[in-house]
């Protein structure tokens, strides 16, 4: 099924020797699968020509299946410890078993997430440093951000065509430099992975990063520099949700804490022991911050703008009900695993 691509052949061979457990319930996981899916994707992109699009508007069914199998096979719940140690050796130590490697191996055996030990993850082709120990970016977040970037690119081309020709003329393109610059807020920024990816793949945007934790504000600045983003296109704002946000934006991207504290038993031990609880849990059944955005977000979004909010399993119906009692129009999207994961809010 994957024989057309050498990367896929390698993965298919690995998967064929394993039974991949697929269960209806998936716990909150650490970032091991992000590292691996990023390696596969980056390897597959190395042979693209300069004319190839950096992001596909839609994944093919085969590639979606590939990513799903990778997530299932290599998630911390299913992964062979020797496989994790192999990736640690390869990614951080270039195959050389130094004394530092054996020290890191003990950290791995004690349950520390592989992403923290290696020190970074790939997020849509961006190298995201994790030295301040933010929430490890998840594959579900990466998926919807990639889909949204593709949609924003489509919207941009339609806008330019109509501006220049009075209609959406297929095949006609112009440079993004002629397009009015869009302003985006990455709220609950953490590592800054979402905003950095937006800046990397959309040349016509500027991004403000909103984050409460001062250490993570520094982490975001580090990742902006790490990925060679022009700092004139960025601003990092220390803010408790929207408390220090004064501007209006074309788009707000928000990945707030949304795990219900009463459901701690569904969270993996390594996540509970090593990732920041402030980035995971929210009161009011996990909906505390989402309710704040529903109530206060309208003042910070332009008339034709949108707010994208990630949420957790089982929260869709409640969010839909809350949105009905506001001026928002809501649209819901599933992640690559078929779970409701994202709500897009626009002015009705």
Q: What single string gives the DSSP state of each residue in 170-190?
A: TT----GGGSPPEEEEEES-T
* Residue scoring higher pLDDT (177 or 318): 318
d(CA 284, CA 95): 47
The C-alpha R_g of the chain, in whole angstroms, comes to: 20
- Whether residue 145 is predicted with pLDDT greater than 60 in this model: the reply is yes
Model pLDDT, residue 180: 75
21-29 long-range Cβ contacts below 8 angstroms, 24+ apart: 21/72, 21/78, 22/72, 25/266, 26/313, 26/337, 26/339, 27/77, 27/266, 27/267, 27/268, 28/259, 28/266, 28/267, 28/268, 28/271, 28/280, 29/75, 29/76, 29/77, 29/138, 29/268, 29/271
d(CA 325, CA 307): 17
Confidence of residue 26 (pLDDT cuts 50, 70, 90): very low
Model pLDDT, residue 201: 97
Model pLDDT, residue 168: 46
**Average pLDDT of the residues of the chain:** 81
d(CA 10, CA 70): 12
Model pLDDT, residue 63: 52
CA distances for 70 relative to 34, 35, 73, 246, angstroms: 10, 11, 5, 42
Residues 88 and 8 sit within 8 Å (Cβ to Cβ): no
Report CA torsion sign: 10, 31, 108, 91. positive
Mean pLDDT value of segment 312-336: 96
Model pLDDT, residue 284: 98
- Residues paired with 309 in a beta bridge: 254, 343
Note the CATH number of domain 139-347. 3.40.50.150
- Whether residue 127 is predicted with pLDDT greater than 70 in this model: the reply is yes
Model pLDDT, residue 262: 96
d(CA 233, CA 221): 12
- Selection from 201, 285, 198 nearest residue 249 by Cα: 198
d(CA 297, CA 315): 19
Which range, of 23-32, 59-68, 259-268, averages the lowest pLDDT?
Answer: 23-32
Mean pLDDT value of segment 324-334: 96
Model pLDDT, residue 155: 73
Model pLDDT, residue 83: 82
Confidence of residue 29 (pLDDT cuts 50, 70, 90): very low
Model pLDDT, residue 156: 55
State the Cα angle at 346 between 343 and 348, rounded to 5°.
125
Model pLDDT, residue 209: 98
Which range, of 69-73, 237-241, 323-327, averages the lowest pLDDT?
Answer: 69-73
d(CA 292, CA 309): 12
- Whether residue 34 is predicted with pLDDT greater than 70 in this model: the reply is no
d(CA 58, CA 305): 22
Mean pLDDT value of segment 312-328: 96
Domain boundaries, the chain: 6-129, 139-347
């Amino acid at each position: 099924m994957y024989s057309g691509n050498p990367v896929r052949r390698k993965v298919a061979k690995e998967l064929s020797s394993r039974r991949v457990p697929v269960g209806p319930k998936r716990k909150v996981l650490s970032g091991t699968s992000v590292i691996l899916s990023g390696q596969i994707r980056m390897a597959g992109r190395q042979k693209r020509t300069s004319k190839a699009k950096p992001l596909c508007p839609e994944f093919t069914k085969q590639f979606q299946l590939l990513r799903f199998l990778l997530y299932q096979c290599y998630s911390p719940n299913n992964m062979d410890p020797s496989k994790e140690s192999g990736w640690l050796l390869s990614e951080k130590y270039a195959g050389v078993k130094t004394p530092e490697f054996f020290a890191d191996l003990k950290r791995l055996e004690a349950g520390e997430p592989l992403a923290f030990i290696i020190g970074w993850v790939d997020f849509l082709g961006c190298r995201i440093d994790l030295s301040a120990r933010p929430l490890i970016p998840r594959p579900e977040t990466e998926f919807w951000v990639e889909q949204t970037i593709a949609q924003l690119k489509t919207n941009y081309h339609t806008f330019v065509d109509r501006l220049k020709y009075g209609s959406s003329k297929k095949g006609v393109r112009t440079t993004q430099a002629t397009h009015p610059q869009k302003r985006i807020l990455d709220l609950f920024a953490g590592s800054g992975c979402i905003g950095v990816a937006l800046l990397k793949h959309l040349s016509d945007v500027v991004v403000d990063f909103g984050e409460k934790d001062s250490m993570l504000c520094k982490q975001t600045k580090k990742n902006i520099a790490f990925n060679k983003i022009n700092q004139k296109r960025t601003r990092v704002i220390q803010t408790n949700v929207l408390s220090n946000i004064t501007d209006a934006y074309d788009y707000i991207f928000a990945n707030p804490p949304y795990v219900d504290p009463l459901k701690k038993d569904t969270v993996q031990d390594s996540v509970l022991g090593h990732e920041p609880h402030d980035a995971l849990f929210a009161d009011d059944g996990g909906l505390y911050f989402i309710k704040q955005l529903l109530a206060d977000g309208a003042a910070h979004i332009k008339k034709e703008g949108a707010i994208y909010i990630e949420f957790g399993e089982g929260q869709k119906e409640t969010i839909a009900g809350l949105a009905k009692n506001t001026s928002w129009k809501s649209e819901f999207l599933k992640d690559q695993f078929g779970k409701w994961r994202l709500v897009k809010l626009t002015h009705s």
